[in-house]
Amino acid sequence: MKLKSTILFFSLLIFFKSAQAQWLAIDSLHDYCRICNKGQHLIGQPYNSSFKKEWPYLLGSATLLATGYMMQTTDKTKPFTEEQLNCLDKNTINSFDRVATKFWSPSVASASDYMLIGISLLPAMFLSEHNTRKDMKSLLIMTAEAFALNYGTTYIVKSTVNRARPYTYCTDLPIEIRTDKESRQSFYSGHTSQTAAATFLFAKVISDYHPDLQKGIKTGIWAFAIAVPSVEAYLRVKGGKHYPTDVITGYALGAVSGWLVPQLHRNFNYSHKKKKDIFNMGIAPTLNGGMVMNMKLQF
């Protein structure tokens, strides 16, 4: 008897959950969503992706990327010579950054390369989410704009500053390493900025598509977005490629790129539709000269 009652209880629970999903799908404003509060997802597009709105961002980000790439490829700054290396003094580096001159690890640097490649593919996850999948074309354009903005800025700054990397101060390393073509491209960390751009873009888009996202899931998504670039930053410093200020700057600028592009496309009416249609009332005349009142209550 006890077993039958338990089976009946869970059967009814499954039935009501299924029925709830069906009822929510009939709502003119909401669809069923397993990661939103009360299983309700606001129907609509949180971004304005019309061509009139889009072309300035496409043109601006493409121009910035092209400018940065040209500056990078035509940079006349030469690597250090052996004589110049002998004149380098790590004590001239600020105390906060000086610790980076102690690190050198090709394996750690390679791990950061693989991490960058993997995280750069993160926007492909939009294909697995039922609400973002239908807008994949516009989301890919936004992703391209964010990445172009980030890379263009990175190239321009690297070509302008020409800061010596930490490993140039490591006298134990071979001269060939200390004088390679990237030895004067330390500021700022492109790996960290690109990783931050990808994760913050992902978290921002998912949050915008789900204004009623469950608190625990939202916290987890943003914790992931914050933590991954932090790990990348640590690997870049530990690998001897960057100073702490390089990765901090890269983190900040990459996060701004990933967050800013979706924000510029925001359709601010999207998250307020629910509030607009909570209660509607109207009065209309009838054929016999009377009046009828219509009221709509939307939960």
Name the residue among 156, 166, 239, 224 with its Cα closest to residue 190. 156
What pTM value is reported for the model?
A: 0.79
Q: Do the bridges between strand 40-42 and strand 30-32 make them parallel or antiparallel, or are there none, so unpaired? A: antiparallel
- The pLDDT of residue 211 is 86
Domain presence at residue 18: no
pLDDT at 267 over 50: yes
What is the four-CA torsion angle of 182, 183, 184, 188, rounded to 10 degrees?
A: 70
Is 230 part of any domain? yes
Residue 135 falls within a domain, yes or no? Answer: yes
Which bin fits 75, alpha (ψ -120 to 50), beta or left (φ > 0)? beta
CATH number, domain of 165, equals 1.20.144
pLDDT at 292 over 60: no
- Report yes or no on 293 lying in a domain: no
pLDDT score at 268: 72
Residue 215 lies in a domain: yes
Q: Has residue 90 been placed in a domain?
A: yes
- Report the domain count for the chain: 1
Q: Is residue 136 part of a domain?
A: yes
Find the largest Cα–Cα distance for the chain.
102
pLDDT tens, position by position, 106-150: 999 999 999 999 999 998 888 877 778 888 888 999 999 999 999
pLDDT of amino acid 90: 92
Residue 18 has pLDDT above 90, yes or no: no
**pLDDT of 263:** 94
Of the candidates 118, 274, 136, 270, which has an alpha carbon nearest to the alpha carbon of residue 199? 118
What mean pLDDT is predicted for residues 46-62? 88
71: domain range?
42-273
Task: Classify residue 3: in a domain, yes or no.
Answer: no
3-state secondary structure of 47: strand
Instruction: Give the integer Cα–Cα distance in Å for 188 and 198.
Output: 17
The whole-angstrom separation of Cα 189 and Cα 174 is 23
Residue 63 has pLDDT above 90, yes or no: yes
